[in-house]
Amino acid sequence: MQFRLKYFIIIIASINIGCKQVYSPPVISSPSSYLVVEGVINSGSGATIINLSYTVNLASKVSLTPVSNAMVSVQSEQNATYPLTAIGNGKYYTSNLNLNSSQKYRLVIIAPNNKNYYSDYVPVLNSPPIDSVYYNFANNNMVISSVTHDPTNTVQYYRWDYNETWIIHSNYFSYFKTNGDTVLARNLINDNVYQCWTSDTSTTILLNSTSKLKQAILTNNIITAIPQNSEKLSHRYSILINQYALTGDAYNFWTNLKTNTEKLGSIFDAQPTQLHGNIHSLADPTEPVIGYVSVGGVATKRVFIDNQQLPNFVFYRGIVGCVIDTFLYRYTPPGGKVVVNQVDEYINYNKGALYPGYTPLLPFELPGGPILGYSASTPNCSDCTLRGTNVQPAFWK
Amino acid sequence: MRKRAYIISFYFLLLYQVVLAQQNNAVLISVNFQQTKVAQFVSELEAKSNYHFFYDPVKMDSLMVTLQVENKPIEFILEMAFKNTDYHFAISNQFIFLTKGRQIKTELPPGFAEIQKNNQLEKQANIVSDYTEEKDKKVLEATTENKIYEIGLKTNPIKPGNAILSGYVRNIKTGEAVVGASIYVASTKNGVATDQFGYFAISLPRGRHTLIIRALGMRDTRRQILFYADGKINIELTEQVNSLKEVKISADKVANVRSVELGVTRLDIKNIKQIPTAFGEADVLKVVLTLPGVTSVGEATTGFNVRGGAADENLILLDGATIYNPAHFFGFFAAFNPDLVKDIELYKSSIPEKFGGRLSSVLDITNREGNKKNFTGSAGIGLLTSRFNIEGPIIKDKTSFIFGARTTYSDWLLSALPEAYKHSSATFNDFNLDLSHQINDKNNIYLSSYLSNDQFRLNSDTTYAYSNRSIALKWKHNFNNKLYSVVTGGIDRYQYDISSKADPLTAYDLAFNINQTNFKADFNYYLTNKHTINFGLSSILYKINPGSFEPSGNQSLILSQIISPEQALESALYLGDKFDISPNFTLSAGIRYNIYNYLGAQTVDNYAPNLPKSQVNVLDSTTYKGGQIINTFAAPDIRISARYILGENLSIKAGYNTLHQYIHLLSNTTSISPTDVYKLSDPNIKPESSDQISMGIFKNAASNTIEMSVEIYYKRLNNYLDYKSGAVLLLNQHIERDVINTEGKAYGAEFLLKKTAGKLNGWLSYTYSRTLLRQNDPNAGELINGGSYYPANFDKPHSFNFTGNYKFTHRYSVSVDVAYSTGRPITLPIAKYEYGGSERVFYSDRNEYRIPDYFRSDFSLNIEGNHRVHQRTHNSWTIGVYNLTGRQNAYSTFFTEQSGVISGYKLSIFAAPIPFINYNIRF
C-alpha cells in the first residue's frame, strides 16, 4: 500500500492543479467614450501638465484618444483664473502658478464638444520633502525605497511616480557606418552608437499612508524593484522620484484605481468597484468622468547609482544572441567561381542589403594592405540609438 | 368515507350497542337493480330508507345485484339480493352491516352484561393508573420479529380507543440512536419517524398491530404488538452489513410524498461517502452543492448559497454548535470529519420553529454517538489528509465516547501549484470528542466538543490562522410518553489571526474573534394523534471583538488600533403545531418571536435622518455603559407549511416562512475569505429579513423507489448588506458608512428525480433560479447601477446536477458526478484608458456580464474488502478522478496591467483531471 500511495503522489505532483490563462471576453463595446483627466496642479513654481483623453474600446489598437482642442484652466474659489496652454497630444501646460496655500482651487475644462467639466474645489496640500532614497537587495532584486517624514503631521497619504534613466552600451563598438552606398568612418563624438541613455516612467500606482502609524514617518517605502541582472544596473542608473501629498478622498480614488487594475488575480480578491473621481460634467452629473485632480507642491529627489558601487552579483550579461560576422568586398564561396561583394550585400542598404543593414564595426585588412572588408553585427547589438538616445540628458552627472 | 367500515368499527358497536332488539321499520321500498354494483345498490337503498350501510368495499366489490321488487321491507330486499351467495347482512337500529363469509350477530351472548360491568370497573381503575404504572415498568426491549409483545396493562377485552406508544429505535450493535427511522403501522396506515434521539411517539388504537420499521442502512424489520394501554417499546435494528452502497436521500421511503415539509433534504454519511470529491475524502459540504437550489461561487469555497441567500445566511450547526467557518484549507475541505458525521439535514424552505437567526437555510450536521457495546474505530489515508477515530463504551450500555481527529500534509500539493502559490504553506487539523450517558430511562446527557485549526501562508510573509471551538452540553428528559424536553447550553467561538513579522518596523498582529454563549430549551409535546406541539425558547449572547491591530515586537512602529467590542443578546420564544386535519391534509404552523438587544458598552454615532451615513452627516454620538440596552429589534417569524395527499403516491405542499438575521458577514470578495468580519446589527445597521413562499408537487413511483418533485419559490430580501465602492471592511470603527442596505428578490423552480434503490441509483436535479438586488435609495449613498436591479454574485440561472452510483457486484461500484451551471455574474471592463503611466480599464455596471459556464464530471470506483462479518478489520478503497474532462472552469476572470498593457486572465482552480486514492480501515 505504501508503494501504491507513493505512485499516485508522483502522478498528482506532476500536474499543475490551478492555473491562470489568458482570457478574451466576447467583444464588448462601450456605448460611448468617457473623458479622462490626469494631472496634478502644481501649486509651486514647477510645471503643471494636465492630460485629457477619451476612453477607447477594449479591442482598440490605440490605448487612448487625446483631446486636443479643449480649454483648460485653474480657478480659485475667489474666481482667479489661470489658463493652461495646449502643447499637443492632449497635454495642457502651465508653470509658476504659485498658488495661495490657504485657498481651494478647481480645474475647469471646456471640451471640444462644448461640454463643461468642473473638478471639485481642492485644498492645497504640499508634500514634505523626500528625506532619502536607498537601495538594498532581496529576492534577486535591487529594491529602491524612500524615506519621508512630515514634521507638521498634516500629510497622511502619499503617492509617488518616478522617471528612471540609465546608460546602455552596445555589445560591440562601431567605428564605421554606412550611408547606404558606401562604408564611412564614424564621427565618434557626435555619432557614437556605443553608449546611450534610455528612460522609462513608472507604470504602477505607488501609494502609502502613515495613518496607521504612531509617527508620521515612512521608513521603507518601496518605490521599485529592479532585477539584479537587468541592463538598468549595468553602468549608471538614475531615478527621479516625485512625491505627492494626497487628501483622504484622493487616496481612496487612487487605491480604488489600483485595486481595480493591478491587484486582482488571487483567490480572495475584492470585486471591481466603480470609480468616483472629483470631476463632473456640468450638464449631466451622472456622466462618468475618470480622474482625480489634486493641488499641491511636489517633492522630488533624484539619485544616481553606479554599477561600481554595487556588489559583484549585479551583473548584466549583455544582449543575448549577438555574433560578429566578417563581410568582404571580394568573396569567393567555397567551390564557387563567382565573386560576391558581401559589403554591398549585407551592409550597404541601397545596394542590396536589407535596410538598415549590418552595422560595420572594424576594418578587415592585412597589415599595411588595403581594407578587404569589415567585421559587422546586427544593429540591435551594435547601435544603441535604436534603444535610446546618444545625447546625454541635461540632468546627467 | 362514512361508509368505509373496518373491522374495528364492529368492536365499538359490540361494546356500546346495548339496544339489542331489532326494530322493525315498516318502510316499504320498491327497487329495480340490473347488474348493480354494491356502491349503487347501497346508495339507492339509503336514499329510499333511513338506514345507513357499513361494509368493506374491497370485500364487496364482486357483488352484482339483479332484482326487481315492489313495496317490500328492506329485510326482504336484502334477503333476496344475497340469497344463495356468500354475502350476509345484519341490521341493528338504523345500521346495516354487509359482510362476506360470516354473519354479524347483533345480539350479545347471554351473560355478557356481567362481564361488561366488570370491564367498566377495571377501565375506570386503569384510567387513573395509566401514567403512574408505566413509570416503574421496565421498557420492553423488542428484539424478535415473531414474538407478540404485550404493551400496557393487560385488559380483557381490549379497551376501545387510542393510546400512545413510544420508545427508542437503536442500533443493536452500537446502541446508538437511529434517527429518522420510520415506524409504520400497517393496520391504520399511519406512521411516524424517530427524532434526533431515536425517539418516537405514536397514537394507535388499542389492539393487535404490526409495526414496520425502516431506516437508512438498517435492515427492514417488523414487530408485532398487542397494545393494551399507553406504553413503551424499544426497538433495536440490525445494520445491513453487506449492504450495497445506495445513494438514498431520504430516510423514509414515503417521506417525499407524506412529510409536511418542503425543501428539506436529509443525507446519510453513506451517501455522502460515494460522491467523488477533489481529494478523495468524503466532503459534507460538497454534497450539499449537488442538491437543487444550492449553488456556490466557485470551487475554492465551501460557502454555499441557498435559494438566493448569501453564504453567511446559512446556519451551520454541528450537534447544535454554530460553526462560523465550515472550511479548511482555503475552502478545499469541509471542516467536518466524515468518519464521525452521521447525517446532515438541509432546510431550504420549511425551517422548523426551533431554528432561527439566519435568512436562507439551516444545515444541521449530526455526529454519531459512540458505540455503547464495543470498542471500534476507523482510519483513513488520503493524498492530503489522514483521519482517525475511536469509540467505545465507558460504562457498557450506558456511557460511551467517540473521538475523531484529522490532519493534513498538504505542502507537497502547494509546491505543484503555479508560481504564485508555490511558496505557500498550509496546515489544518480538527478534533471531536463526544460523550453520551444514559442516566436512566428518562434522562440522557450528551457532551460534544469540537476544535478546528487552520494556518496558512500564501506566498508572502503574512500568516493567516483561524480556529473554530465549541462545546455543548445537552440534557434530554422524558416527562412522560407525550412530553419530552431537550435543554442545551454551550459556548461557540470563532477566531482568526493575521500576522506579519518580516519587517520589524511594520510587524503586526491582527486578531478577530466571535464568542457566543447559547442556551436553549426545546419541548416536544405529543398532544393527540392529530397534534404534535413544539415549543421552547432560546437565547444567544454574542460577544465580538471586531478587530485589533497591534504592533508585534518592540521595534514596530504600528499604531495599535482596537475596534471596540460588541455585545448583543438574541432571544426567541417559539410555538409550533403539526396538525393532521385529515389523513390527507396536514398543516404545520408556528411562530417564533425574536427579540434582539444590542448591548453596551458602546459609543454609537447618530446620523442625520435621510442623509447618507457619512462622517459629515454625524450629528453627535451617544456612549452607553456596559450591559445597557442600546436598542431592541423585535419581530415575529411565521412558519407555515401544509401538505395535501392527492393520491397514494402524489401530494402537493405549500409553505410560507419569514426569517430575521442579526449578525452579518462583511465580505466584498467573491468567496468567503478568512479575513471577513462579522458585525452585529446596531442602531445604524438594520437586521436583514426575508420571506419566502414556496409550493411543490411530490410524486413517488415504482414502489417508492423513484421520487420526483418540483418546487417553486419566491423570496424577498430586505436590508441585504452590500458595499459601497472601495469599502473598507477590516478595522473600520464606522462600518455603517461603508455599507448600504439593498433589497432583493429571488425566485426559482427546482426539479428533482431520484432513484433510491436498485443497481443504479442516484439523483438528477435541475434548478432555474434568479437572485436580483437593488439599491435605489439615494439617501443611503451611492446608487448601484443607477438604482435598477442587478444580479447577485451567486446568481446562476441554470444549474444541473447528476449523481449516480452503479453496483457491479457487492464489492465493486462506480460513482459518477456531473455538474453544469451558468457562469456567475461578473463586472467586466468595457473601455480602456491611460492613467498613472499605464493602460487601465473602465468597468461595466455591477455584475452586467458572466464568466463562462461551469462544467465538471467526476468518477470514482469504490472497492470494498471482503464481506465476512467476523474479521478483525474491514477495509475499502476509493479510487477516482475529479474533473475527468479537465475542463478549465473559470473561477474568476480579471483584467490586470502587466508591463503597462491590460490583459484579461481567467483563473481556474482545478484545471486538470485530478486522480485520487483513499484507503479506509475499520476495526
**Which has more pLDDT, B902 or B566?**
B566
Of B896, B909, B914, the CB nearest to A12: B914
CA distance B311 to chain A (A): 15
pLDDT attached to residue A14: 34
pLDDT in tens, B845-859: 888 888 888 898 888
Asked if A28's CB is within 8 angstroms of B828's CB, the reply is yes
Residue B519 is placed in which grid cell?
442556551
Question: Which has more pLDDT, A396 or B106?
Answer: A396
Cβ within 8 Å, pair B914-A17: yes
CB burial of B116-155 (b: ≥16 within 10 Å; e: otherwise) equals eeebeeeeeebeeebeeebeeeeebebeeeeeebebbbee
pLDDT digits (tens, 9 = 90+) for A355-376: 888 999 999 888 888 889 999 9
Give the tens place of pLDDT for each residue, A128-175. Answer: 999 999 999 988 899 999 999 998 888 989 999 999 999 999 999 999
Q: Is residue B6 pLDDT above 60, yes or no?
A: no
pLDDT of the residue at A336: 76
Give the pLDDT confidence score for residue A15 in this predicted structure: 39
Q: Which of A134, A252, A258, A271 to mutate to test the interface with B (most CBs of B within 10 A)?
A: A271
Q: Which of A121-125, A376-380, B190-194, B689-693 has the lowest mean pLDDT?
A: B190-194
> Does the pLDDT of residue B499 top 90, yes or no?
no
Instruction: Identify the weakest region by mean pLDDT among A295-309, B122-136, B788-802.
Output: B122-136
Alpha-carbon distances of A161 from A240, A258, A301, B837, B840, rounded to whole Å: 9, 13, 11, 9, 16
pLDDT of residue B259: 75
Q: Which pLDDT belongs to residue A173?
A: 93
Which residues in chain B touch residue A220, judged by CB atoms under 8 angstroms apart?
503, 505-506
CB-based contact B416 A8, cutoff 8 Å: no
pLDDT at B128: 39
Rounded to an integer, the average pLDDT of B514-535 is: 90
In chain A, what residues touch B383 (CB-CB under 8 Å)?
5, 8-9, 12
Q: Which residue has the higher pLDDT, B235 or B111?
A: B235
In this structure, how many other beta carbons lie within 10 angstroms of the beta carbon of residue A342?
Answer: 21
CB B867 within 8 A of CB B241: yes
Are A275 and B725 inside 8 Å of each other by CB? yes
CB B423 within 8 A of CB A49: no
Q: If DSSP codes are grouped into helix, strand and coil, which group holds residue A367?
A: coil
A153 and chain B in contact, CB less than 8 A: no
What local confidence, expressed as pLDDT, does residue B228 receive?
84
How confident is the model at residue B316, as a pLDDT?
92
- Residue A57's pLDDT is what? 79
B830, B846, B888, B898, best to mutate vs chain A, most A CBs in 10 Å: B830
Mean pLDDT of B152-163: 76
Residues from chain A contacting residue B838 (CB–CB below 8 Å):
203-205, 261
Q: Which domains does chain B have, with CATH numbers?
A: 7-100 (3.55.50.30), 132-237 (2.60.130.10), 264-922 (2.40.170.20)
Residue B526: which pLDDT band, with cuts at 50, 70 and 90? confident
Of A18, A21, A219, the CB nearest to B909: A18
Confidence of residue A304 (pLDDT cuts 50, 70, 90): very high
Yes or no, beta carbons of A18 and B842 under 8 Å apart: no
| Interval B119-142 mean pLDDT | 46
A58: closest chain B residue by CA: B831
Residues in chain B within 8 Å Cβ distance of A252: 726
CB atoms within 10 A of CB B419: 8
Cross-chain CB nearest to A161 (options B381, B413, B837): B837
The alpha carbon dihedral of B608, B613, B614, B620 has a sign of: positive
What sign for the dihedral angle of Cα B862, B863, B868, B873? negative
Mean pLDDT score of chain B, rounded to an integer?
Answer: 80
Which of B413, B839, B911 is nearest residue A19 as measured by Cβ atoms?
Answer: B911
Average the pLDDT over A273-281 and give the result.
Answer: 83
Express each pLDDT in A336-357 by its tens digit: 778 889 999 999 999 888 888 8
pLDDT of residue A269: 53
Please work out, in degrees rounded to the nearest 5, the angle formed at the alpha carbon of residue A120 by the alpha carbons of B774 and A272. 40
Pick the residue from chain B with its C-alpha nearest to A60: B832
- Indicate whether A13 pLDDT > 50: no
Percent pLDDT > 70 in chain B is 84
At B530-553, the pLDDT tens digits run 888 999 999 999 999 988 888 888
What CATH number should be reported for the domain whose range is A35-124?
A: 2.60.40.10
Measured between CA atoms, how close is A140 to chain B, in angstroms? 16
Q: How far apart, in Å, do the first and last CA atoms of chain A sit? A: 70
Q: Which is higher by pLDDT, A113 or B215?
A: A113
Average pLDDT, integer, range B226-234: 84
Share of chain B above pLDDT 90, in %: 21
Residue of A nearest to B837 (CA): A203
**Residue A241: per-residue pLDDT:** 95
Mean pLDDT of A62-90: 90
Name which residue leads in pLDDT, B421 or B261.
Answer: B261
Q: What is the pLDDT of residues B701-717, one digit of tens each?
A: 877 788 889 999 999 99
Predicted pLDDT at A335: 81
Which chain A residue has its CA at the smallest distance from B732's CA? A212
Percent of chain A surpassing pLDDT 90: 50
pLDDT over 70 (residue B338)? yes
Greatest Cα pair distance in chain B: 117
Is A72 in contact with A35 (CB distance < 8 Å)?
A: no
Say if residue A84's pLDDT is above 50. yes
Per the CB < 8 Å rule, is B827 touching A257? Answer: no
Supply the pLDDT for residue B422: 62
Instruction: Determine the pLDDT at residue B844.
Output: 80
* Predicted confidence (pLDDT) per residue in B290-337, tens digit: 888 888 877 666 678 888 888 888 999 998 899 988 888 767 788 888
Given pLDDT bands bounded at 50, 70 and 90, which one contains residue B749?
A: very high
Q: Calculate mean pLDDT across residues B379-402.
A: 87
Chain B interface disruption, residue of A256, A267, A276, A279, most B CBs within 10 A: A267
pLDDT of B203 reads 83
Counting one residue from chain A and one from chain B, the pairs whose CB atoms sit within 8 A come to 238
| B536 grid coordinates | 421552547
- Tens of pLDDT along A221-232? 899 999 989 999
pLDDT reading at B691 higher than 60: yes
Cβ <8 Å between B843 and A291: no
Which residues on chain A are in Cβ contact (under 8 Å) with B782? 274, 276
Chain A residues touching residue B895 (CB < 8 angstroms):
261, 264
ipTM over 0.90: no
> Does residue B452 have a pLDDT over 50?
yes
Q: Using CB atoms, which residue from A18, A30, A257 is nearest to B911?
A: A18
Chain B residues near residue A225 by CB distance under 8 angstroms: none
Q: For position B809, what pLDDT does the model report?
A: 83
pLDDT band for B724, please (50, 70, 90 cuts).
confident
Which of the 8 DSSP states describes residue A203? -
Mean pLDDT to the nearest integer, B246-268: 64
Mutation for testing the B interface, residue in A215, A260, A275, A292 having most B CBs under 10 Å: A260
For range B77-95, the mean pLDDT: 80
- B576: confidence class by pLDDT, cuts 50, 70, 90: very high
Question: Is A140 in CB contact (< 8 Å) with chain B?
Answer: no
Minimal CA separation from A12 to chain B, in Å? 7
The answer to whether the CB atoms of B827 and A272 lie below 8 A apart is yes
User: Mean pLDDT, to the nearest integer, of B644-649?
Assistant: 85
Instruction: Kindly state the helix (H) or strand (E) to which residue A252 belongs, with its residue range.
Output: helix A248-261
pLDDT category of residue B133 using cuts at 50, 70 and 90? very low
Top residue of A8, A9, A20 to mutate, by most chain B CBs within 10 Å, is A20
Examine the pLDDT at B288 and tell me if it is beyond 90: no
**Looking at residue B419, what is its pLDDT?**
58
Instruction: Give the span between the Cα atoms of B906 and B883, in whole angstroms.
Output: 17
**Does residue B68 register a pLDDT over 50?**
yes
- pLDDT computed for residue B630 by the predictor: 92
Give the model's confidence band at B244: pLDDT under 50 very low, under 70 low, under 90 confident, else very high: very low
Residue A98, Cβ neighbours under 10 Å: how many? 11
Cβ atoms A332, A288 nearer than 8 A = no
Report whether B450 contacts B318 (CB < 8 A). yes
First to last CA, chain B: 56
B793–A161 CB contact, under 8 Å: no
Q: Which of A305-319, B106-120, B902-916 has the highest mean pLDDT?
A: A305-319
Strand partners, A155: none
CB contact burial B57-74 (16+ within 10 A = b; e otherwise): eeebeebebebebeeebb
Any idea where the domains of chain A sit in the sequence? 35-124, 130-270+298-309, 325-377
Q: Can you give A145-178 as a three-state secondary structure string? A: EEEEECCCCCCCEEEEEEEEEEEEECCCCCCEEE
Asked if the C-beta of A217 comes within 8 angstroms of chain B's C-beta atoms, the answer is yes
Taking an 8 Å cut-off on Cβ atoms, the answer to whether B831 and A57 are in contact is: yes
pLDDT of residue B899: 62
- Report chain B residues whose CB lies below 8 A from the CB of A246: none
A6 to chain B: which residues are within 8 Å by CB?
Answer: none
Distance of CA B426 to the CA centre of its chain: 32
Q: Write the pLDDT tens digit of every residue in B14-46.
A: 434 433 334 444 578 888 887 778 888 888 888
